[in-house]
Structure 1
Amino acid sequence: MAEFPEGAPCWVDAMFTDVEGAKTFYADVLGWTFGEASTEYGNYTQAYSDGKAVAAVVPPMPGGDTHSQWCLYLASSDAAATAEKIKAAGGELLMEPMRVGTFGTMAIAKEPSGAVFGVWQPGEHKGFEKIGESGAYAWAEVFTRDPATADEFLPKVFPYESQQMETGDDPETAGMDFKVFSLGGKENAVLGRMEMGKDFPPHMPPYIQIYFGVPDCDEAVAKTQAHGGKLHFGPMDSPFGRFAAVTDPQGAAFAVIDMSTTVGEMPKFG
């Protein structure tokens, strides 16, 4: 696959104290297979769907944070320059740009409203080899309680255009504050931004929700629960697909979406 444009989601990974347990869970729920652990890089292990790289899992570094969560990486042609833009725009660098052998250069950052994300400057590892299909990354949304701050930050770091969803008279979307960010025209949306309303527990920090494609949303939810994971929202039909928000048995949140099952008209964005 060709290199991803600046600011496009290009990779996801997650840290698990029980990597073997995570592999068993995601093999069943998302149909993934796994490569050999790279001992040189902290036992970083790539996940595959139909033989194509789609994600990675890794154990925590000694003394590091053991909280399991998925991290979305946004593409950069120059991670050091992107890191400077992040700081200048009010974000925080949690990990300065670091070269990962010949694979590329990574950084971890927090946007000023609190959501954590990664930056990836590709070397040999370009990113997703499969996208927008079952078993692969499908979409991501920044969930924040301070949408104005996130909305101001993101276009200062990446070349995004943005469009606000028009709620109109639809009771399903009444009061919803949702925006999409696109690259090279509004038809090429790459990232969503949703305001966290009163339905979210007050202790829950802002985060980026990653959606993985599945052939059957309800079946993926049932498998998640059978492994000890939890259902938090849905399954719900939408114009984009039938989706649900879940956490795996180790507490990493993500969403599953069956993009073949769509209901209703697409919302309008102004």
Structure 2
Amino acid sequence: MSRRSEYAPGVPCWVDLSSTDVGASARFYEEVLGWRAETIDDPAAGGYGMFLHGDRKVAGLVPAMAGQPVSTWDTFVATDDAAALADRVRQAGGTVAMEPTQVFEYGIVTVFRAPDGSFAAGWQAADHPGAELVNEPVSFCWSELVTRDLPAAETFYPAVFGWDPHLLETPLGKYTEWHVGGHAVGGMLEMDPGYPAATPSFWMTYVAVADLDATTAAAERAGARMLVSGMDATPGRFSAFTDPHGATLSIIQLHEIS
């Protein structure tokens, strides 16, 4: 189902771009993906906005915190109790970076760092359940943990979100799918040695596109640095790039829309 109005606990439900230059990021993703950025018209929102595809909210856009060197894409996972989730994070050895916090009438967010060094967030929805369009062009379709510490991540995330890890052998090597209720909701792989030594574990966001080659070319024209260009994988062909302000994103032309 591509149009969504709710998410079960444990399912990634939202992504946002924490940008060092919100205006430039809005222009880049409008040019590459056709998204439209709208800022929340309230000084208390701190410049937070949303990317829309048509009339559907597909991702967030927020000014980076002071001192953040590059832009990042961040993953939010649905929860029915953000406070209980924060407690599980601590019990599993993680660090709560943001205590459960009410975000206007939208819901409650908590942000944490896992023992493998990756950051993620829990989202307890109220008025804003998450992305209103997923799994079809041009919307969020997958979150993938790229980790430097597989054993730590494999222990921590199931304890926090109730995920069931399924190890797969793929043409590109070993890959873990995270399952909730028998359905795959995300993935994990070990960080390739080709990454710079200073790169921490992170969550990669995937956006579905209709024409991978055309979107890859559009990203290059707009100033992206390509990391992977037109590689085949089981669900489809994908590219990965770093946008002009340092955020890494993958785009994929799926074989099937789910």
Which TM-score band (shorter chain)?
A: over 0.9
Contact 1:9 1:75 in 2 (8 A): yes
Match of 1:183 in 2: 180
Are 2:26 and 1:27 equivalent residues in the alignment? no
Q: Distance in 2 between matches of 1:69 and 1:93?
A: 19
Question: Given the two structures, how large is their TM-score scaled by the length of structure 2?
Answer: 0.93
Q: Which runs of 5+ in 2 are unaligned?
A: none
Mapped pair 1:46 → 2:50 = yes
Identity of aligned residues (%): 34
Aligned-pair distance for 1:177?
2.9
Distance 1:64-1:199 versus aligned 2 partners, 3 A rule: closer
What number of residue pairs does the alignment pair up? 253
Whether the aligned pair in 1 keeps the contact of 2:89 and 2:96 (CA below 8 Å) is: yes
Given that 1:102 and 1:123 are in contact with CA atoms closer than 8 Å, whether structure 2 keeps it comes out as: yes
Cα shift readout 1:128-175 (whole Å, capped 9, x = no counterpart): 1000011100111101121111001111011211210135xxxx33xx
Q: Secondary structure at the match of 1:128?
A: coil
The answer as to 2:209 corresponding to 1:214 is yes
> Which secondary structure does the structure 1 equivalent of 2:233 belong to?
coil
* Higher share in strand: 2
1:109 aligns to what?
Answer: 112
- Structure 2 residue 161 is matched with structure 1 residue 149: no
Which runs of 5 or more residues in structure 1 are unaligned?
Answer: 263-270
Cα distance between partner residues in 2 of 1:261 and 1:101: 37
Match of 1:228 in 2: 223
| Separation in structure 1 between the aligned mates of residue 211 and residue 244 of structure 2, nearest angstrom | 20
- Partners of 1:247 and 1:126 in 2: CA distance: 28
Distance in 2, Cα, partners of 1:197 & 1:190: 22
Partners of 1:236 and 1:260 in 2: CA distance = 13
**Letter paired with 2:167:** Q
How far 1:107 sits from its partner (Å)? 1.1
The alpha carbon displacement at 1:64 in A equals 5.0
Asked whether the equivalents of residues 103 and 109 of structure 2 are also in contact (C-alpha less than 8 Å), the reply is: yes
Question: How do 1:75-94 and structure 2 match up within 5 A?
Answer: 75-94=78-97
Structure 1 letter corresponding to 2:77: L
Stretch moving more, 193-202 or 243-252 = 193-202
Partner of 2:6: 3
Equivalent in the alignment of 2:190: 195
1:245 match = 240
Q: Which amino acid aligns with 2:178?
A: F
* Corresponding residue of 1:134: 137
Q: Residue by residue, what CA displacement relative to the aligned partner does 1:44-77 show, whole Å, maximum 9, x if unpaired? A: 111111210000112234x353531010000110
> How far apart, in 2, do the equivalents of 1:106 and 1:57 lie?
15
Root mean square deviation, CA, Å: 1.6
- Could you tell me whether the CA contact under 8 Å between 1:160 and 1:182 is conserved in 2? yes
